[in-house]
Structure 1
Amino acid sequence: MSTNETTAGSEQSPDRQRHPLARGIELLTLMVDTGEDSYGVRELASLMGVSASTAHRLLGDLEKLGMVGRTRDGAYRLGLEFLRLAWATTARLPLEEAATDILGQLTERTGESSFFGVYNEQRQQMMFTHTVESPHPLRYVLPMHTWLPLHAGASGLAILAFLPDETRHEIVHGPLPALTARTRVDPGKLSDRLDEIRRDGYAISHGERIEGAISVAAPVFGLSGTIVVGDIGITIPESRFNLGTESELVRLVKDSAAALTDRIASSRVAIRPQPNKVQSNGVA
């Protein structure tokens, strides 16, 4: 074996022996840092310096875990489970701090408990991950970190209404358990209501998830500004709800959701690296 062959082999050996977990994390890091909406298999393979088959295998494993997802044209993007985990990483993340700050302002301005909920694409469910409690002694405590259906209550409907058509149709025509006597379980009526929510940009519900609770929620979108990742809202005891303040509450909720969407979008600019630097580091 020649010296050149030995050298080439020794340079490639670490790449061949790199653990799949390390490669998976590396792939996710590239998708986060480059900040594109979606990626082709060959594009990711080129960025990582690996074969297309290796990249495809890594993507398949990550897709099973919900860390990446596919677009309608077959490209890959960061999965919503990945985003949920990012949100759940306590106050270390700037976005977590941004959400807490926005929720605090929303509760201060409305006097009501505010919440942030995230959507999981694989489960087709949502969960409350952050809340700021109302100062009023009478308030509802939301079930934190518990997967909940999307068809019941404004917190789920504000997400469901903005999902892709196929996903929305699948959920609307799937099981629709009645959580309370007010939960809408008729697919036709539910579809009509979702059309209204998309038109108005927010959802409001009266006792559909929790008896006696009124909720107002608006969608929060991810990096692209088009994929719904969760929502922001408030919950109010029915006995304290004043119909005359509804329009103002809706405005505050929609403004808060838009502010968080803007924070998410601006964060991608802040972490965008120089593309040439990624390749020059010999990432494999």
Structure 2
Amino acid sequence: MNDYHVASVSLAAQALKLLARYKYRSCTLTELSEALHVSKTTCLRVMRTLVNEDFVHYDEGTKKYGLGPYLIPLGNRASELINSVACATQEMRKVAAATGMTTVLVQRMRDDRLMYIATAEAPRDEIRISVSIGQQFPLTAAAFGRCFLAFEPEAQWERYTARGLQKYTEGTVTDPLEWRRRLLETRKHGFAVSHGESREGLSAIAAPIFGAHDVPLLVMACIAFTSQLREEDLENAVNILLPVTKRLSMGSFHAYVSQI
């Protein structure tokens, strides 16, 4: 066991991550203890501490827990302090305005999932696509995930194909050869496009923002309704998105930070 592991702190962190997921945004003590695989007594102690610190809110009427108010300024402050996110968020608003599409910033989590960490809606977008910051979704589906996976060693891809590619919609790519072909295509061109692969009726145009050693740190993507996305809209989004993600990537990133 790790000498620096504190069980109660770890459990508190797991509880906050769980409540950040849309499916578990409002939970009873029983639901939390079952999802976290701990006793109700242990779970209650941790949850009461989090409530006292305003990290978690407890509704006396429903007897359910949810994320607390102090996480709002905490999250905003964290976003301001993390240069990569702060810079990308500024550029993301410009991309949304230029493309007319909802633009999102996506981060990879440790458990093979992705999470929206920032979003910007186009000022002139009449039909808005609502995205919840903190919402998580699978790594292997759609353009977002391909932008992370495409730049891993190819041997790592076998880990996902060996256990089977899960189907989320009729458009989800589950054939291992086709999935691999699309990863290679993403690696070659530096961006990925998907249509209804993780959510029916939604298209995404995504590109990675690289950190050290050419490893994708974040992914920026434009989202649109597939039925409204014309070929020229797609090409325009790619032409706007790629220069931005390249500028934010390592190499020019430090120069960019010094200018803001």
Q: TM-score, normalised by structure 1?
A: 0.59
Partner Cα separation in structure 2 for residue 198 and residue 239 of structure 1: 27
Q: Does residue 1:245 correspond to 2:216, yes or no?
A: no
User: 1:215 Cα shift?
Assistant: 0.6
Q: Name structure 2 gaps, 5 residues minimum.
A: 6-74
- Greater mean deviation of Cα atoms: 168-177 or 150-159: 168-177
Counterpart in the other structure of 1:156: 145
Aligned length: 187
Instruction: For residue 220 of structure 2, give the secondary structure of its aligned residue in structure 1.
Output: strand
Counterpart in the other structure of 2:135: 146
Counterpart in the other structure of 2:181: 192
Task: State how 1:125-274 maps to structure 2 within 5 Å.
Answer: 125-135=113-123, 136-224=125-213, 226-262=214-250, 265-266=253-254
223 and 265 in structure 1: CA distance in 2 versus 1, 3 angstrom threshold: farther
Task: State how 1:114-125 maps to structure 2 within 5 Å.
Answer: 114-120=103-109, 122-125=110-113
User: 1:97 Cα shift?
Assistant: 2.1
Partner Cα separation in structure 1 for residue 128 and residue 212 of structure 2: 33
Which amino acid in structure 2 is aligned with residue 187 of structure 1? P
Counterpart in the other structure of 2:37: none
Partner Cα separation in structure 2 for residue 227 and residue 217 of structure 1: 15
162 and 128 in structure 1: CA distance in 2 versus 1, 3 angstrom threshold: same
User: 1:212 Cα shift?
Assistant: 0.9
Which amino acid in structure 2 is aligned with residue 227 of structure 1? V
Q: Does residue 1:104 correspond to 2:85, yes or no?
A: no
**Would the aligned equivalents of 2:211 and 2:217 in 1 still touch at CA under 8 Å?**
yes
User: 1:134 Cα shift?
Assistant: 2.5
20 and 189 in structure 1: CA distance in 2 versus 1, 3 angstrom threshold: closer
Q: Name structure 1 gaps, 5 residues minimum.
A: 1-18, 22-85, 271-284
User: 1:182 Cα shift?
Assistant: 0.4
Partner Cα separation in structure 1 for residue 253 and residue 150 of structure 2: 21
**Would the aligned equivalents of 1:87 and 1:96 in 2 still touch at CA under 8 Å?**
no
Quote the RMSD (CA, aligned, Å): 2.9
User: 1:164 Cα shift?
Assistant: 2.4
197 and 87 in structure 1: CA distance in 2 versus 1, 3 angstrom threshold: farther
Task: Tell me which of the two structures has the higher relative contact order, counting C-alpha pairs closer than 8 angstroms and 6 or more residues apart.
Answer: 1
209 and 187 in structure 1: CA distance in 2 versus 1, 3 angstrom threshold: same
Partner Cα separation in structure 1 for residue 206 and residue 159 of structure 2: 22
Structure showing greater radius of gyration is: 1
Instruction: For residue 245 of structure 2, give the secondary structure of its aligned residue in structure 1.
Output: helix
Which amino acid in structure 2 is aligned with residue 163 of structure 1? E
Instruction: For residue 172 of structure 1, give the secondary structure of its aligned residue in structure 2.
Output: helix
User: 1:111 Cα shift?
Assistant: 0.9
**Would the aligned equivalents of 2:83 and 2:257 in 1 still touch at CA under 8 Å?**
no
User: 1:206 Cα shift?
Assistant: 0.7
